Chains A and B, each alone.
Chain A
Amino acid sequence: MSRLRRSRLKRWLPGLLLVTPSIVLIAVFVYGMLGWNFRLAMTDQHDEISEGSRFVGLENFVALWDQERWGLSVRHAIVFTLVFVGGALALGWLLAFLMEKGIKGEGGFRTVYLFPMAISFVATGVVWRWLMNSGQGEQAVGLNRLFQAVGLGFLENDWFRGETWGMAAMAIPAIWQMSGYVMALFLAGFRGVPEELREAARVDGCREWQVYRYVVFPFLRPVTLSALIILGHISLKVFDLIVSVSGKQIITDVPAVFMWVAVFDAHDPAKGATIAAYIVLAVAVFVVPYLIWNARREKRS
């Protein structure tokens, strides 16, 4: 009996030991902190150092919407997300499609396109800050200067300093950085389509575009969804890129930057926690349906 128990112990103990630290760490530092953040967001702890705070329910969550800056940063986040996710998906897909058609030196191109992902958003930001300098005419540097040099002077613009399109310009470095990764995802998707299926379609009399339309693209749906989730949550949390390009300016304010200002400049923890809570909720809107969908799919197979 005891031998049986011991051998059973031997079987699951190492595995348990292996995962325990990460379970504990995640429980404390991810879910514990999340819970603590939500609790803080529901108090009136509006300065850092005074002690004692009162529970005020959702008051902070409602009050935030009265602030012009909050509306502006949400609008910025939406513009950024649409342009970034749309742009990276389209460009990544296009690159993968071209690769899939077969080109010489594919390995080299793959590395070149994937490479930006190895760079941190901060480094990208520092370089693009110079490239997207708003100076024009004699003051132009970076891309504006390049436009002048190749006779496309009419393309010179304010980049991220433009009020309407500023956040769209801010998404360009992000697209540059992430589209290679999306390409890699799509390329894997393309390669996952069994050659027999294509052959079968061709035998059935499909033209080449029909093979893609009816056979290959439907196979890419799960990949597209994964890419959408990954890009979407990166986009909603974006902070480092924006701060390294333009700093903490209202013209490029997004919720994460607003949160930093609320906590570290205005010393208002409750407000910062409220903004952070909204960011988590927004990311959850992307991620939770995906997790459910994934779980269902696994059950089905």
Chain B
Amino acid sequence: MTSHRSGRLGLVAVGAALLLAACTGPAAEDPSSGSGQEVPAETGPFRIAVISHGTAGDAFWNVVKNGAEDAGRQLGVPVEYNSDGDPGNQAKLIDNAVAQRVGGLVVSMQNPEAVRPSIENAVRAGIPVVTINSGEEQSAAYGALTHVGQSEGVAGEQAGRKFKEAGKTKLLCVIHEAGNIGQNQRCDGAARGFGAAERLQVDISNPTDVQARIRGAVQTDPSIDAVLTLNSQVAANAVNAIEQVQSQAQVATFDLNADVVSAIKSGDVLFAVDQQQYEQGYLPIVFLKLYRDNRNVVGGGRPVLTGPDLVDKSTVDQIGAYVERGTR
């Protein structure tokens, strides 16, 4: 609660500062102003556009959006969130933000090459860019200040290793968006950490299909004793599927939601790989504000990692409450 209130206070303070700035700005006829002594802090309206590749209504990206908007509220920076799963359309949204001359840009790069011209264009226009979520390797080369995210491959590897430590022998990795490169990297990583992994393709927009296909997979190959899903909703479907055929397989998943939390509590889900995407929304806003006010840069070109944080039975009680709040 207190942090909330101080956030409001901060907002009022910044708002007042902006108001003052706006008052003095146009009437700056005082010849003493503009002397070399002053810090060249930029004033005036400062807006940040967050443009992700998530589809509308995606639970994961909703948490990112919450993070960005919370940071914006607390810092008094207007934040606008837009998203489009199609890389071409995402590029156009970036162009749109550049045309609006936003003060800062936060972009997720599922398909780095496709958004490259738009990001470079933004950088050329003097707009500081922070990349989030995916695209870690390309971030610096495109001229972004920093990258905030988790390495998908590393996260997958950790999940694979954790399964192995739990004594599992055969792993099934469930991909729910056929063309998503990050998901393929996760399964590749899981295969590295575990030794090998089979893949199963399902369609996230059709939960019945997801459940049926996972059921079919564990039925036809009873030696599968570990199922890794890459999305919390798919995890719930996998748990149901496994219960239906009384398979001995255990599920672990990427990303948290209320269902996953209760499934971890009840032991149906072994663990969840949480990349703490709230930070991916929150931190870039802070970074961009610090860059603007103080020319601070974080990480010196190295990515800032938000995860993975493995959530299992020992930590799930605390974290569960935050999931309900929409921030984990």
Query: Do A and B interact with each other, yes or no?
Result: no
Q: Which residues of A contact B (CB under 8 A)?
A: none
Interface residues of B (CB under 8 A from A): none
